[in-house]
Chains A and B, each alone.
Chain A
Amino acid sequence: MALLAFVLTISLMLLIVIVVVYAERKVAAFMQDRLGPTEAGPYGTLQPLLDVLKLLQKEDIIPAAADKKMFAVAPILIFAAVFAGFAVIPLSPSLVPAGVGIGVFYLLAIISLDVIGLLMAGWGSNNKYAMLGAMRSVAQIVSYEIPAGLALLSVVMICQSLDFQEISYQQGVLMNLFPGLEQEQNWLFGLKALGFETTTVGGLTTWNIFRAPILLVAFVIYFIASLAECNRAPFDIPEAESELVAGFHVEYSGFRFATFFLAEYAMMVLVCLVAVILFLGSWNTPLPNFGPLALANWTTGTPGGMASVLWGGFWLISKTLVLLFVQLWARWTYPRLRVDQLMHLCWKVLTPIAIGLVLLAGIWRLLMV
């Protein structure tokens, strides 16, 4: 069972990563009025696969002055840290690789291992650019973990749970089927005083950003911070091509570079999955029930059945892809932030707002019961 979950998760992750790599090139091309890859396969769809094949054939170079052990361990550690995060992601009402009770917290902690791997890579390469890139990257990730963590904390306070699956169930029509939530009720905007119960309506109305509209702000904060955490533009000073060549992975080639590349894209997918699960209704359908027109029930299925697995996976992955598109969009829209702007945004804008949100989330929770 554990092996099956492992294989399923890794193949799903690889599939999404391949799609994102292709989308990155195509989206970038269209935004710059180019065509992007067109030669390999129809519309260039085989391009990412061929890129991977090319990378695997390349010579594995270890610089003579590098610290060989650290140089070798770093990509493995980074990938392992990111992939370990996928273990707690629920894919559908009945499918979750590891349903631990403190999933959200575990995810935050295990992702912070990534930082150690970055430092190892930067130091092990024995290269100025790599070291500078690693330092910048770590400083950025450690700083932006704070607003991201606070934004997640406000979700946890609204949902009263650290379990991804429980939070998922709360955001849809299936809520009362989760053990421990049989008596729970959802209200429109989380305000019981409005007297409009949405427990059986489901759809958009029970997503976290509608259950407690302040979470919309938390979502934006989390999304910005998550861009910084995976070193995406406009927060890509760790990999700034024009000043650092490629940052911490400048000395890597062949399969080791492919591992870094994979870890980076896997991280993008992971942060988007977390955003979808915690804010945008997880595997729940966006369509609400309208009286006899039970759109939500039709597009959810019953837990345990094949239909629910397929619908759940479909909604989860399509929402994730939308968010990934927004990440690409941001990359090709905004210029890179300077270091001081980066830190200003994190410590003087996002963190105070996030702290205020935590307080508001506590108050909102009181209105919900």
Chain B
Amino acid sequence: MLFYLFAALATISGAYMVLTRNLLYAAFALLLTLLSVAGIFVLLFADFLAVIQLMVYVGGVLVLILFGIMLSSRVKDKSVLSENVNTGWGIAVAGLLLLGLSYTILQTNYVSLPWIEAADTDLLGAQKSTVQAIGIKLMTDVVLPFELASLLLLIALMGSAYIATDKPTKL
């Protein structure tokens, strides 16, 4: 029941985000979308993922987007509006995506999927959250991608620091 509520919220706010012309409203609609998706994550026992979603996307990315919009708007004394460009390509890509996803969904035989069959059992067992399992996985199976991602972030950080520094102008 809660799932349908969150799903409906996510869909409606997502649609609003795409359809509204006001960029700022779109950003706040994105907030609602992200929150509902976080709610769905919680319902799927992915508590860590839900909180990460809040932390990174709502607390970080969305704030950056809002800052960007607010600082760059009102150039001509009216709020920023988005425009429709690349209509043909957009429709084509979205339509293909829809087709591909529907095809995959229709092809799948849900009843025989192992994780659907195991859904009735207690997923978390004695553990209170998925943090332990995720931590162990990060330090064993996927340690290389994890380290690569951290390296990438470090490079991005250094790059931004370099761009932001005052370069002494040459004479």
Interface residues, chain A, with chain B CB atoms under 8 Å away: 70, 100-102, 105-106, 108-110, 112-113, 115-116, 119-120, 123, 131, 135, 138, 142, 145, 162-163
Interface residues of B in 20-49 (CB under 8 A from A): 24, 28, 31, 47-48
**A162 CA to B128 CA, complexed, in Å:** 10
**Count of inter-chain pairs, beta carbons less than 8 A:** 62
Other than the known A100-B128, A135-B70, what 12 A-B pairs have Cβ atoms closer than 8 Å? A101-B128, A102-B47, A102-B129, A105-B131, A109-B59, A110-B54, A112-B58, A113-B54, A116-B66, A131-B70, A138-B67, A142-B63
- Determine if B127 and A109 form an interchain contact, defined as CB atoms under 8 angstroms apart: no
Specify the chain B residue showing the minimal Cβ separation from A105. B51
Specify the main secondary structure of chain A where it touches its partner: helix
Chain A residues lying within 8 Å of B54, measured Cβ to Cβ, are: 109-110, 112-113
- Determine if A119 and B63 form an interchain contact, defined as CB atoms under 8 angstroms apart: yes
Chain B residues lying within 8 Å of A142, measured Cβ to Cβ, are: 59, 63
- Determine if A112 and B55 form an interchain contact, defined as CB atoms under 8 angstroms apart: yes
Specify the chain A residue showing the minimal Cβ separation from B129. A101
Q: Which of B24, B54, B128 has most chain A Cβ within 10 Å?
A: B128
**A116 CA to B28 CA, complexed, in Å:** 9
Q: How far does the Cβ of B31 sit from chain A's closest Cβ, in whole Å?
A: 6
Q: How far does the Cβ of B160 sit from chain A's closest Cβ, in whole Å?
A: 13
- Determine if B129 and A120 form an interchain contact, defined as CB atoms under 8 angstroms apart: no
Chain B residues lying within 8 Å of A120, measured Cβ to Cβ, are: 28
Interface residues, chain B, with chain A CB atoms under 8 Å away: 24, 28, 31, 47-48, 51-52, 54-55, 58-60, 62-63, 66-67, 70, 127-129, 131
Chain A residues lying within 8 Å of B127, measured Cβ to Cβ, are: 101
- Determine if A112 and B51 form an interchain contact, defined as CB atoms under 8 angstroms apart: no
- Determine if B63 and A105 form an interchain contact, defined as CB atoms under 8 angstroms apart: no
- Determine if A102 and B51 form an interchain contact, defined as CB atoms under 8 angstroms apart: yes
Specify the main secondary structure of chain B where it touches its partner: helix
- Determine if A100 and B129 form an interchain contact, defined as CB atoms under 8 angstroms apart: yes
**A119 CA to B58 CA, complexed, in Å:** 13
- Determine if B55 and A105 form an interchain contact, defined as CB atoms under 8 angstroms apart: yes
User: Can you name 29 A-B residue pairings with CB atoms under 8 Å?
Assistant: A70-B28, A101-B127, A101-B128, A101-B129, A101-B131, A102-B47, A102-B51, A102-B131, A105-B48, A105-B55, A108-B55, A109-B54, A109-B55, A109-B59, A110-B54, A112-B54, A112-B59, A113-B59, A115-B59, A115-B63, A116-B31, A116-B58, A116-B63, A120-B28, A123-B24, A123-B70, A135-B67, A142-B63, A162-B129
Chain A residues lying within 8 Å of B51, measured Cβ to Cβ, are: 102, 105-106, 109
Chain A residues lying within 8 Å of B48, measured Cβ to Cβ, are: 102, 105
Chain B residues lying within 8 Å of A123, measured Cβ to Cβ, are: 24, 70
Specify the chain A residue showing the minimal Cβ separation from B66. A119
Q: A101-B129, A113-B59 are in contact. Are A119 and B70 (CB under 8 A)?
A: yes
